[in-house]
Chain A
Amino acid sequence: MVDVTPADAVPPAEVGEMELYHPHSWWTKYVFSQDAKVIAIQYSATATAIGFVALFLSWLMRLQLGFPGTFDFITPEAYYQFITMHGMIMVIYLLTALFLGGFGNYLIPLMVGARDMVFPYVNMLSYWVYLLAVLVLVASFFAPGGPTGAGWTLYPPQAIMTGTPGGQDWGIILMLSSLILFIIGFTMGGLNYVVTVLQGRTRGMTLMRLPLTVWGIFTATVMALLAFPALFVACVMMLLDRALGTSFFMPAIVEMGQQLQHSGGSPILFQHLFWFFGHPEVYIVALPAFGIVSDLISTHARKNIFGYRMMVWAIIAIGALSFVVWAHHMYVSGMHPYFGFFFATTTLIIAVPTAIKVYNWVLTLWRGDIHLSIPMLFALAFIVTFVNGGLTGLFLGNVVVDVPLSDTMFVVAHFHMVMGVAPILVIFGAIYHWYPKVTGRMLDEALGQFHFWVTFLGAYLIFFPMHYIGLIGVPRRYAELTDMTIMTESAHHLNSFISIMAFLVGFAQMVFLFNLIWSIRHGRDAGGNPWRATTLEWQTPQTPPAHGNFGKELPIVYRWAYDYSVPGAKEDFIPQNVPGSFIPSREPA
């Protein structure tokens, strides 16, 4: 990074009331940095590190499921601790943090043409609170009794009872505290992302000129700001139930022959609060992925995104609708059965805007000039896995079909495909796409090809057959699949196959990690705009962008983000900050 003196960074007239903080020492530049780009890298590195813990836990789980009885150290208690921590890390501490804290921080200011986030100090605090949350989470591995084994949904009463690992030890307390911290930290960051999109846009950058990446992250952040408080409330109330003996969620209970002190509470109340957060959370992960993949496809197919307006409306519609579908996670929870009619209808309605997005991605490919670069490959793989996982969502959202399938491996396969594999493929694609901007060097192509093929095919081979294990009726969250009449010998073999695939896919991630580190020094020099893309982050004077992003003057935006292959233009792309008119002669039919 180039040291920038205050004089050449900030022309006051453009920036308005925003004052850029200039670091003076190594500490304030790289550690307690207020630069969104540094914070983005800190977020990404932390999320990746904890993500590898989750990957390792998934291996341990697959060891147990694929080869039951072979590994004595994986007791049921340990197994439940693994699944809980794996789920929680992946959903909250990896996916949410990486998409919003990582990509959000890096891309929003650059893509909207701002020098930085609008509240850099709060932004910095956000990361440190997030790091603290991660450390508290990690601490639970070393606490007496180990981490909680309540499942990532943390349903009471079992989450805070003796029969669950960590329930009466430190595990659940640390988990809830860590979540509360995460939410506080996220709120700080989220305010930045939202207000920067609202107030930090450079001249000419209207909402309809924003790249879909920004639309996706923006909408997801708004949703997260409104949804996370529900988790916060649920966590605080459960913490009181556990630590101070209140009865928010705890009814009268006889545990192992002993009457507990609680009385009258409602476990369903927790489920409502949890899923009021939990369902929007799915889209909090999905919408940034939608946005990013739109940009990847458009750039690498050298074609404008098809139906941009529909894409924007669909993002807004999905964001709004996702707040009225939460109870589709609770069809068999024992809530009033007539809710099923309402929530099945809203859930299936949300399929329509989602389907439109899928159509528009594939229609962007139609008559494009498709460069099969690695980001493009990941984008294609995303569409396959997302369509697959989205369609099985239509099974589970359709209330009566959910009855036999809920709480089986079908659900596990579904949500891994749709909110695990699909968004992670987008993350990979996005990393291959933006790594040259972040470091100035390309990731290694051959390693990338290896990583792509093993990850994509391996993940598909893991989760596609898993649906069928669920169809047999095998419940999820079973530490032991022995002793079940429905588990046939062949189903056990299938499980072993899935486990082997899981190890292979996990191994490919090690290769990817190696590639990330190795290419920082040895990667091919990328230049400023290796993909010949139109959006503002590729138009910065320096690569990697210096402090303040855009040198002396902020760019002025003259066109939308998708002027690829414009008829009459010399190049097949026109960056957003290039003036002049290339309005195509006819409006297409």
Chain B
Amino acid sequence: MMTLRVRSTLRHLDVFLILGALLAVAAIFKASTFYNLSNLFAILEMSAVLGIATLGEALVLIVRGVDISVGAMMGLAGTLSACLLPDFGLGVAILVPLAVCAVLGLANGLLIEKGRIPPLVATIGMMWVINGLANAISEGRLIPIDNKAFQQIALGSVLDVVPLFFVGLLIVGGVAYYVRSDYPIGRYVYAIGGDEGAAFYSAIPVGRIRIAIYGVAGFLYGIAGLLMASYVRSGMPSVGRGYEFKAITAAVLGGIALSGGRGNIFKAIVGAVILIVLYGVITAFAVSPYIQGIIQGCILVGAVYYASRYY
């Protein structure tokens, strides 16, 4: 019995164990290159970007969907912001991109729910449309951001090492966890992914919730995009390329089931941190960037394999 309990506890903590192991490896072999202020700051900053995007993707996966428009939305948000900053100021340059991303997310949801288009197809289509929009706005160029206040978004920190947004991410993750456990809407989201028919019979507004989830996800991708733009001090349509797959990988690594209805949002965020730390460790070992792709692919498939066998 004892071993059973130990095993189940281990299973709950698996993501933290993986994270700990990675950090330990870095500490033993590459302490000086990995554990210095600027590297840690960069890792936490990128964790915040991916973590926020992963949060959106995880919500979508839980209602048995998938969203491929993550990277395109991030690119659009940053580009829009860079265009708006000189003429309209900080407030507009933050709120407008977020609103646009939320609306595009709702469009994803409407296509899927009302148009009955499979999520994969709908969001791939939207990915191209959104990327096209961003390119049209920027005319394909990188738009530098000079606004000091906007640059400060990414630079703000606690004790010089933890970016404010990473703290924000943990807070958002905590809130998400609390909503899941303490509000009906949390249960409804999981019920829709777990068994749509049963959710429908229980008088849950399945369609409206699913559309809203895509909208919230779009909003979150927008935040991730703005943070990225602030960090690289420019708006660039292609800045989020590949983030959809990173977000899916992170969510699955954190135990979100691709079949919907299962998984802990907070662990999904930890999954994002693991992925970024892993990139950091790989870089510290000066491994070829080509190998990175191979490792990332293996992680995604391996995580799904693990999840399908042990969850």
> Do the two chains belong together in a single complex?
no
Interface residues, chain A, with chain B CB atoms under 8 Å away: none
Interface residues, chain B, with chain A CB atoms under 8 Å away: none
